[in-house]
Structure 1
Amino acid sequence: MSSHGTDRTDRARTVGRGLGTGARAAARGVAGAGRVTGRMSRTIGRQARRAAGAQGAEQSGLNRLIYLHFFNTAGDAAVAISLAGSLFFQVPSGEARGQVALFLGLTMLPFAIVAPLIGPFLDRFSHGRRWAIGATQALRAFLCWGLASAISGESSPWLFAAALGVLVSSKAYGVTRAAAVPRLLPQGFTLVKANGRVSVSGMVGAAVSAPLAGLASLAGPEWSLRYAFLLFVVATVCAIRLPQAVDSSAGEGTLVLREDDSRPTTPRGRIRTPIPPAVAFALRANCGPRFLSGFLLMFMAFLLRENPPESGLSAEVLIGLVVGAAGLGNALGVAAAALLKKINPSVTVVLVLVADAAAALLAALFYGVVFLALLGLTAGLAQSLGKFCLDATIQRDVPERVQASAFARSDTALQVAWVLGGFIGIALPLDPARLGLAVAFAAVAGWAVFVLGGRAQAARPRRTPAA
């Protein structure tokens, strides 16, 4: 062999050895990175499990509800991201509004009528609540899979029905979960603290899931829905694995949402307890922020598409800003709940109601990106903080034997307010934009006057007729 051939062979061997060494080093680096990532994941997982089970939550089973709520909220975030880029932006606005309004009336209003029967219906069955919570998750998993096929096919008569079915199931989950929390309280826990911990897990779930859903949606909105399907399947398993205490109603009674209902027992012998005046006041005040929340969700989704403020931003970006501001407000409300020991809940529910009305008025007078974001921020803060104040009032004034019933029934009333707000948001015209916002202000302000007027009338001493 010639010297040139030998040199080429030697160089080839040298290059080959170099490549082999580089490949082994890269493999070791990847393996090392994988081990580091694995250790970090296991560490984070252990920390999350330790936080969820702290202070007796593992013994009582509250940690299982925390896991469930994490996956539930993560799935809701994935659905919201998918529908924001498909349901509202791939269909002509006029057609979309008509279909959403139709299915809102056919699907959500019957739910609002039937919702007050959910609690008494579940009380008749020894294993109703766990399966009811699981059913809301399983139904959303099924609908998300169907939605993925409908969106990928670009047209389906059941597209809006499935989307609103997911929304209704989410609200039904809120009602059923409210009855589960009081049954899983660790020793020394208050309901406010337990609800706060569950809410924090939901915020973490949404924060973790939203970027993953956004990445999946880059391949198409159907992939973020399939991702949501997996999350709801896991949530279904978590619901079924909830402790049996969720199904127990031993020693409990029924809270009556009418203060003048004096019947002592239900037909099945459960003790009736009229709602305390402070709880009734807090519940009425909370209906205002819930109404505005439902209104903004439906109204803004179309308003910012058809009649956006002059800002040069796309409709998707504007909706993202308003929704992000609402999410920030919700997070601030959860954080502010830690101050409930230092503030008066009955005063706070009035303040958040008035703040909602003021923000709606500013948005109507000065229609622009800043004031719409401020409205979203205020609405999120008011809804979150007002609900914590209601929880604190129930925990303080309602006897323990009827607290589960109080939470379930109060959440049902709030869901009805949300549904009515959403329906009005769909029904209102989009032009001029200030008209719809002015209606929202008038509704919330009028409700505030009603709530405060009722409180003042209840505070007046009643005159007894002369003998």
Structure 2
Amino acid sequence: MPLPQWAAQQPPPQYGPPPQYGPPPGGHPPPQSPTVPDAALPPPPPPKATVTRVAASRTRELTGNAVRRVQAASRADGAGESGLTQLLWVNALHMAGDAMIAVSLAGTLFFAATTDAQRGNVALYLLVTMAPFAVLAPVIGPVLDRLQTGRRWALAASALGRALLALVMAAHYDDIWLYPAALGVLVLSKAHNVLRAAVVPRVLPPQMSLTSANARQSVFGLITAGIFGGLAAGIAKVFGFTPELYVTAAVLAVAGVLALRLPKHVDVPTGEQPADVLSTGPQPDGRRRRQVNPHVVLGLRANAALRGLGGFLTIFSAFLVEGTVEGGWPATFALGGIAAAAGAGSILGTAIGSRLHAVDPDRLVLISAGVATAVTVVAAFFFSLPMAALVAGVSAVTNALGKVALDAIIQREVPESLRASAFSKSETILQLAWVIGGGIGIALPAIGWLGFTVAAALLVLAVGLILFSLHRGRRAAAQPVRPEAPTTPMGEQWG
């Protein structure tokens, strides 16, 4: 039976509205809130400002700015592209490890002794610090000279070896094994210094001088050493020396990893300047003997005088304060003032050296020795503890400038095949000068004017000999070489 027409026009049931569609019976639809855009909503109330939150925010801001400035300074003048930045941070962590090792050794019997035994213990300390250089000069220098293509690995091995020895020191802090481990740490530290100085010319940017590159590394190293040395002292004070040595091992391990990440051209001996320093050549008498470059000799002698003054001030100032200032805060303040002047002088000297892009290092080392001598002479006539602090600061400035100048002279004059030996021998001579200066400080009585008079007299003598040898060398170079008179066939000379 066909459907009616009206029914055929109805839509199928599945296309109709749902059963609950529309307003409820007998009521009205619920009111709906008007839609408000998010931008029109009021902002949430800011967190309540407190002193802690403000300090934390300001600290984060200052820390971020400091980190960015340090990174920019380390990469300036093309250092980031050449690889000098990476070497800079390896050396900074190396010097931080040195400072932390020094803090741990300060708690041993070298300094933890009664007043009567302190002079003997300091003399023992001087002998122990001299021992690594005695090993370094005849053995490590020639080995590193032959190591031309694996210096990244050598730098890493020196840092990782020191990390392992720091763990040995932590495990044997109270027995005899501490001393061989400490000696090994010092030897590897000096090997790192020789390697680092020999590698600098391979990562030197074209727009930077060797003096500036050496000073920049010293600036970052000194600042890092100061920070980590203070951290190590705090850890040792709160937790003891064993945890402090564990942290030291971690810092040195990071330095070893960064050394492995140095650019590959560190292992490529290219661009070295030829020179006849420490090489052999024929002599008029037919024999072959070792020649020494006069520039290196001049810089080394001037630096030896400066280093001897530094050793004297380090040891003599401690006994001077102990013998002339009453104990407690006055003695601590006096010795702390001298130490602070020396630390600030080291940072200032290296900072000045990093800005000297075009200064002749030969002239710089002579000026440094002359200034240190003049200030010491003034202190001998007008001695006081503030004057001693002034001499310590000036000595630190001139020592820093003289060292970066000497490194630049060796890097400029000595060929790559002999550079490590030159650095090891120069370090040995400088450390010996420091020990001699410290020995004079032990031997002299704690009388201020007497000690500084002796130091001034020795400095005047040393600088005078340097200037005399320089004058004699210039006169010899200015004299024309007389040609040999020709002879007749019978062997007789003409006229």
Question: Fold-level match, TM-score > 0.5?
Answer: yes
Partner of 1:421: 434
Q: Check whether the contact 1:307–1:430 (CA below 8 A) recurs between aligned residues.
A: no
- Deviation (angstroms), 1:79: 3.6
Partner of 1:13: none
- Deviation (angstroms), 1:417: 1.9
- Deviation (angstroms), 1:90: 1.9
Q: Percent identity?
A: 35
The verdict on how the C-alpha distance between 1:96 and 1:112 changes in structure 2, with shifts beyond 3 A counting, is same
Q: Does 1:171 align with 2:184?
A: no
d(CA) in 1 for partners of 2:146, 2:377? 46
Secondary structure of the equivalent of 1:76? helix
Aligned residue type for 1:429: A
The verdict on how the C-alpha distance between 1:390 and 1:107 changes in structure 2, with shifts beyond 3 A counting, is closer
d(CA) in 2 for partners of 1:316, 1:148? 29
1:257-313 per-position Cα deviation (integer Å, ceiling 9, x unaligned): 459x4259xxxxxxx996543343223222211232234344545x25743446974
**Which has the larger helix fraction?**
1
Q: Check whether the contact 1:279–1:390 (CA below 8 A) recurs between aligned residues.
A: yes
d(CA) in 2 for partners of 1:167, 1:355? 31
Aligned residue type for 1:326: A
1:290-342 per-position Cα deviation (integer Å, ceiling 9, x unaligned): 232234344545x2574344697455544432222112111221232256367
Query: Residue 445 of structure 2: which of 392, 411, 431 is its match?
Result: 431
Alignment gaps of 5+ in structure 2:
1-46, 284-288, 486-495
Aligned residue type for 1:124: R
The verdict on how the C-alpha distance between 1:129 and 1:295 changes in structure 2, with shifts beyond 3 A counting, is farther
Higher mean C-alpha deviation, range 40-49 or range 54-63: 40-49
Partner of 1:17: none
- Aligned structure 1 segments of 4 or more residues deviating by more than 6 angstroms: 28-40
List aligned pairs for 1:196-275, cutoff 5 A.
196-219=215-238, 222=241, 223-250=243-270, 252=272, 257=277, 261-262=280-281
Partner of 2:12: none
Q: Does 1:90 align with 2:89?
A: no
The verdict on how the C-alpha distance between 1:85 and 1:255 changes in structure 2, with shifts beyond 3 A counting, is farther
The verdict on how the C-alpha distance between 1:86 and 1:330 changes in structure 2, with shifts beyond 3 A counting, is same
The verdict on how the C-alpha distance between 1:238 and 1:308 changes in structure 2, with shifts beyond 3 A counting, is farther
The verdict on how the C-alpha distance between 1:73 and 1:275 changes in structure 2, with shifts beyond 3 A counting, is same
List aligned pairs for 1:123-138, cutoff 5 A.
123-138=145-160
List aligned pairs for 1:45-444, cutoff 5 A.
45=67, 47-84=69-106, 89-102=111-124, 104-105=126-127, 108-109=130-131, 111-112=133-134, 114-115=136-137, 117-148=139-170, 153=174, 156-157=175-176, 162-163=181-182, 165-219=184-238, 222=241, 223-250=243-270, 252=272, 257=277, 261-262=280-281, 276-301=293-318, 303-304=319-320, 306-309=322-325, 313=329, 315-337=331-353, 340=356, 345-363=361-379, 368-391=384-407, 393=409, 398=413, 402=415, 405-406=418-419, 409-410=422-423, 412-426=425-439, 428-429=442-443, 431-434=445-448, 436-444=451-459
* Structure whose CA Rg is larger: 2
Q: Check whether the contact 1:291–1:422 (CA below 8 A) recurs between aligned residues.
A: yes
Q: CA RMSD in A?
A: 4.1
Partner of 1:8: none
The verdict on how the C-alpha distance between 1:458 and 1:85 changes in structure 2, with shifts beyond 3 A counting, is same
Q: Does 1:456 align with 2:456?
A: no
- Deviation (angstroms), 1:168: 4.5
- Deviation (angstroms), 1:454: 0.7
The verdict on how the C-alpha distance between 1:334 and 1:82 changes in structure 2, with shifts beyond 3 A counting, is same
- Deviation (angstroms), 1:182: 0.8
Partner of 1:267: none
- Deviation (angstroms), 1:366: 5.2
Partner of 1:18: none
d(CA) in 2 for partners of 1:312, 1:30? 36
Higher mean C-alpha deviation, range 47-56 or range 181-190: 47-56
Q: TM-score scaled by structure 2?
A: 0.71
- Deviation (angstroms), 1:46: 5.0
Q: Check whether the contact 1:287–1:414 (CA below 8 A) recurs between aligned residues.
A: no
Aligned residue type for 2:429: V
